Structure formats: C-alpha cells, structure tokens
Amino acid sequence: MTGLKLKQLQYESDTWKRLLGFLTDENINLKNRLSEILRDDFESSLLDVLEIFQNRFINEDNMIGLLRNEIKEYDRVLIRENFEDGHLKNEVVTLLKKLRNNMKYAEIESGKLRRDFNSYITENIYKMEVSTPGY
C-alpha cells in the first residue's frame, strides 16, 4: 500500500474519531437537558415518552462505543507492516466499507434522535410549564 494511500486511510479514521467525539458530546448535552427537565416539575404524563428518549440516548452511547471499537480494529489493521499481502488488503477494504456505512448510519440516527427530542420538548414545553408552580 502506498504511503499516500495509507495516509488517506488514517486521515479518514481520524475524521471518524472526531465525528464520534462530536456525537458523544451531543448525546451528553441531550441527556443533561433531559435531566434538567426531570429535575423541574413537569407533567407526569410525559414521563413515558421521556423514558423512551432516555433509552434511545443509552442506545446511542452503545452504538458510539461499538463504532469506537471498530475504528480501533481498523487502525490496528492499518498499522500492520505487511500491506502487500492480498488478504490484508482485502481486510482493509472490507473494514473501510463497513465503517463508512456504519458511520453514515450513525450520523443519520444521531441527527434523527436530536431532532425528535428537540421537537418533542418544544411541542410539549407548555405542558411542562403549566404544571410548574408560579406559572
């Protein structure tokens, strides 16, 4: 494998790591927002849906963890010295395609989760405020 090609594959891996860092930060922000909502008085009829969101946030954490492990494996394959072995080249290509697809899916699902949560909170904020004393 040429040095330039290897450098590109490593760059893509680094890009995925930065993306996972961003997705992690966003998921933390969503969980913090949920925690704020639950600390305040809110309409208890919303609890079931908020619990569903909490489970989705946990699933997001799990997905990010699995992707981090996949990227670590990909990086291990990239740093192996024997790149001329056809089997290893196939392994790199296979992992690359798999990771690209998985990262695309993760981006889509993470964005959908953020939009769903923010939309739900915005649509139900009145119910949250109505049950709060002083409003």
Percent of the chain with pLDDT over 90: 64
Looking at residue 90, its pLDDT comes to: 81
pLDDT digits (tens, 9 = 90+) for 32-64: 999 999 888 778 889 999 999 999 999 999 999
Q: Could you tell me the two tokens for 73?
A: 């494996």
93 vs 91: CA distance, rounded Å: 5
- Closest of 112, 97, 133, 110 to residue 12, by C-alpha: 97
pLDDT at 135: 42
The per-residue pLDDT for 64 is: 98
Pull the structure tokens for residue 4.
Answer: 């330039």
User: What pLDDT sits at residue 84?
Assistant: 58
* Res 40: pLDDT: 83
What pTM did the predictor assign?
0.84
With CA atoms as reference, report the closest residue to 13 among 95, 86, 88: 95
For the beta carbon of residue 60, count every other beta carbon within 10 angstroms.
21
pLDDT over 80 at 132, yes or no: no
Nearest to 123 by CA among 115, 113, 131: 115
